[in-house]
Amino acid sequence: MNLLKRFYVLLLLLALPFTQAWADEYQDSVKIFKDAGESTNFFNNSYGYALFPTIGKAGIVIGGAAGKGRVYQQGKYVGDTTMGQISIGFQLGAQGFTQITFFEDKRAFDEFTSGNFEFSADASAVAITAGATASATTKGNSAGVSGGQNNANTIGGGYNKGMATFTVVKGGLMYEAVLAGQKFEYKAKK
């Protein structure tokens, strides 16, 4: 079993795309979402958001995803968050993606930052597609094609229980039909 865990950790690390060492990944990620149609309006109309510049995801029947991010309240950085996901079902591949979750109001923000928060398997994310990619959701992935990062998929582009999640696939390819949920931990900035 220990060998299997090591294999998945290695596969997950290989899924993370290489980034420029000196780039501010948070500012770059915000720019991507601000420039992408559907998610643009959420910056002005949300109470806050959680931003993950890179989430690595990999799986062969059993899979996982992980990433580190920051939480912003009314545009100000207030804490750090981590995301983990375990999935079971038909899946094969690895990919990296950027994810942002907007909080509609203080109640949704407080729920997320209460310490441990979990999206159920029926939560979904709107994919902002760039070229031929796959959308990363907790319902499973689907293929999509668009003209570039400035085009957002508008299906389900509203708040669900006070939260709206958008993703941009950075690299890799993953096919899956799985049951999965995302679990988050939050730690306030010191």
Mean pLDDT throughout 165-169? Answer: 87
Query: Domain tally for the chain?
Result: 1
- Write the pLDDT tens digit of every residue in 140-154: 333 333 334 444 433
Residue 96 · residue 12 · CB < 8 Å: no
d(CA 65, CA 119): 14
Measured on CA atoms in the order 181, 129, 67, 163, is the torsion positive or negative?
negative
Mean pLDDT throughout 151-167? Answer: 69
Give the range among 84-98, 111-125, 131-145, 166-180 with minimum mean pLDDT. Answer: 131-145
pLDDT score of 9 more than 70: no
pLDDT score of 157 more than 90: no
pLDDT band at 159 (very low <50, low <70, confident <90, very high): confident
For 114, residues 6+ apart whose C-beta sits below 8 A from its C-beta are 186
Q: Could you tell me the two tokens for 173? A: 């390819």
d(CA 54, CA 51): 9
Outline where DSSP puts E strands in the chain. Answer: 48-73, 76-103, 116-119, 126-127, 132-135, 142-145, 163-188
d(CA 127, CA 152): 7
Give the range among 32-41, 83-92, 173-182 with minimum mean pLDDT. Answer: 173-182
d(CA 33, CA 136): 15
pLDDT band at 169 (very low <50, low <70, confident <90, very high): confident
Mean pLDDT of all residues belonging to the chain = 76
Does the pTM surpass 0.75? The reply is: no
- Write the pLDDT tens digit of every residue in 14-73: 544 443 444 589 999 999 999 887 788 899 899 999 999 999 999 898 889 999 999 999
* pLDDT score at 121: 57
How many CB atoms sit inside 10 A of residue 18's CB?
A: 8
Residue 104: domain span: 2-188
pLDDT band at 108 (very low <50, low <70, confident <90, very high): very high
**Burial (0-12, 13-18, 19+ Cβ within 10 Å), 5:** exposed
- Write the pLDDT tens digit of every residue in 56-67: 999 898 889 999
pLDDT band at 79 (very low <50, low <70, confident <90, very high): very high
